[in-house]
């Protein structure tokens, strides 16, 4: 990547006082993103404002994947020839890099194909434990199985929130249905923030709390400090969805664990990395307690015709051929983000968010779904336009060279909270500029007039 950006150490909490990137620095970063070289549908420059769905990739990420296939492509962990050794090293180096980026240890990170699989991995492991399947190396002595702490049954409670992406809701609905547990949820305030006053739904029967760190609809940051103490008091397992926080904020797993989090999930493709890879980051205690879910090659110790024993975590949860090139690309992505500095990116995003929210407030008939201020938010804003379907909004913006997300954003319950079936959404990335925000605002202001001709 460009060398004009000074390294910025990650911080443990929300950034305070970091210096936003200068226009010159942003321009230097934009030179790293090939998508900006292609025109939009209208022949003009593309204003890509759908980073919350999937991020664009810098050339270094693409080069890392290409370089892996061209120079180090081998069967990781399966032989001793040079290419295999290099492939193994690339895989484990990526594990350490991604874990380090979020303040975790490599031993705490399990690679998955995406964050959805990571949530399901935890939910399915709990389901296996609840059915009496032991953790670890198969058949521990009675009373010594660490998976016993994960067992959920009738009368137990699983708590989620109304703000969840379907990926952090449906797996828990399924687990409740399979085990007889009761699914409960934290409600939302009128403006769509998770309501700390609804923490009373967490009781001494709560076994699991699964919640988002940042809403993918409103961009609101969850008030963890007001929620996690109740989960800790109940002894509940806490699973945090960081898919919308890790691309925007410094995330420190060690600090989250100290606050009561047991596991979190990551999505590479939202963090400038490749598609097809994500991660579960969890305490060693949780990973040791989880029975295997996917079984086959790579995750075993000994296999006979009668039974098998399994590798320790994280290998126990990484059955089959690994997404090696994608891991190499994700390694390059977190290196890129670290060099730019997450605190600086967050600071710059706040200025863009303020510009966007103020501009949207001037558009007749536009309703922001979520807080109308910028306090404790990231650059994700959903909205509706009176009398215009969100898909039509998206098409008009596309014709103006502006790309936004339309639909329910895999989050139907929070849309029901706002009494709408769907919305349009604008979201920012590291190379979003004020000029792109202004293009969006000009285009969205013209939408209702287009349909009233």
Catalytic residues: 410
**313 touches 110 (CB < 8 A):** yes
In the block, which residue shows the tokens 């690994």?
322
Which residues is 264 bridged to in the sheet? 240, 281
Identify each DSSP E strand in 285-422 by its residue range.
300-303, 308-310, 366-369, 380-385, 402-403, 405-407
Give the residue ranges of DSSP H helices in 260-389: 284-289, 324-340, 342-360
- How many helices (H) and strands (E) the chain has is answered by 13, 15
Which residues is 405 bridged to in the sheet? 425
Integer Cα distance of 160 and 157 in angstroms: 10
17: left (phi over 0), alpha (psi -120 to 50) or beta: left
Give the Cα-Cα-Cα angle 90, 92, 95 (nearest 5 degrees): 110
Q: Which residues contact 117 (CB under 8 A, 6 or more apart)?
A: 278
20: left (phi over 0), alpha (psi -120 to 50) or beta: beta
Integer Cα distance of 290 and 317 in angstroms: 9
Identify each DSSP E strand in 80-136 by its residue range.
109-112
Q: Judging by beta carbons within 10 Å of its beta carbon (0-12, 13-18, 19+), is residue 171 exposed, middle or buried?
A: buried
Q: What are the φ/ψ torsions at residue 127 (nearest 5 degrees)?
A: -60, -40
Measured CA distances, 437 to 278, 359, 402 (Å): 30, 9, 9
């Amino acid at each position: 990547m460009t060398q004009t950006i000074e390294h910025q150490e990650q911080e443990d909490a929300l950034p305070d006082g970091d210096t936003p990137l200068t226009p010159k620095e942003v321009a230097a970063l934009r030179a790293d993103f090939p998508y900006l070289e292609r025109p939009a549908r209208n022949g003009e420059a593309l204003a890509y404002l759908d980073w919350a769905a999937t991020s664009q990739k810098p050339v270094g990420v693409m080069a890392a994947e290409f370089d892996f296939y061209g120079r180090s492509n081998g069967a990781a962990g399966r032989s001793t020839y040079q290419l295999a050794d290099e492939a193994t090293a690339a895989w484990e180096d990526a594990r350490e890099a991604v874990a380090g980026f979020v303040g975790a240890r490599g031993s705490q990170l399990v690679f998955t194909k995406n964050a959805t699989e990571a949530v399901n991995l935890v939910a399915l492991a709990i389901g296996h434990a609840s059915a009496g399947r032991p953790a670890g190396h198969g058949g521990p002595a009675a009373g010594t199985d660490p998976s016993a702490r994960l067992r959920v049954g009738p009368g137990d409670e699983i708590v989620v929130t109304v703000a969840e992406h379907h990926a952090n809701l449906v797996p828990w609905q399924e687990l409740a249905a399979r085990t007889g547990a009761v699914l409960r949820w934290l409600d939302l305030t009128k403006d769509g923030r998770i309501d700390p006053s609804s923490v009373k739904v967490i009781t001494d029967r709560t076994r699991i709390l699964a919640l988002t760190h940042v809403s993918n609809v409103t961009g609101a940051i969850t008030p963890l400090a007001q929620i996690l103490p109740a989960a800790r008091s109940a002894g509940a397992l806490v699973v945090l969805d960081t898919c919308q926080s890790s691309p925007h904020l410094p995330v420190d797993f060690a600090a989250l664990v100290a606050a009561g989090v047991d596991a979190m999930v990551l999505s590479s493709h939202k963090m400038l990395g490749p598609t097809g890879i994500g991660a579960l980051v969890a305490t060693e205690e949780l990973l040791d307690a989880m029975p295997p879910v996917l079984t086959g090659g790579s995750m075993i110790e000994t296999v006979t015709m009668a039974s098998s024993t399994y590798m320790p975590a994280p290998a126990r949860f990484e059955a089959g051929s690994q997404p090696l090139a994608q891991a190499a690309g994700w390694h390059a992505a977190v290196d890129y983000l670290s060099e730019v500095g997450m605190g600086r990116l967050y600071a710059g995003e706040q200025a863009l968010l303020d510009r966007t929210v103020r501009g949207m407030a001037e558009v007749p008939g536009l309703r922001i779904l979520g807080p109308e201020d910028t306090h404790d938010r990231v650059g994700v804003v959903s909205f509706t336009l009176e009398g215009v379907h969100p898909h039509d909004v998206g098409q008009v913006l596309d014709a103006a060279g502006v790309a936004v997300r339309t639909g329910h954003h895999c989050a139907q319950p929070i849309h029901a909270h706002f009494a709408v079936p769907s919305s349009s959404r604008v979201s920012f990335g590291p190379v979003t500029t004020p000029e792109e925000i202004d293009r969006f605002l000009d285009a969205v202001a013209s939408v209702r007039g287009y349909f009233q001709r």
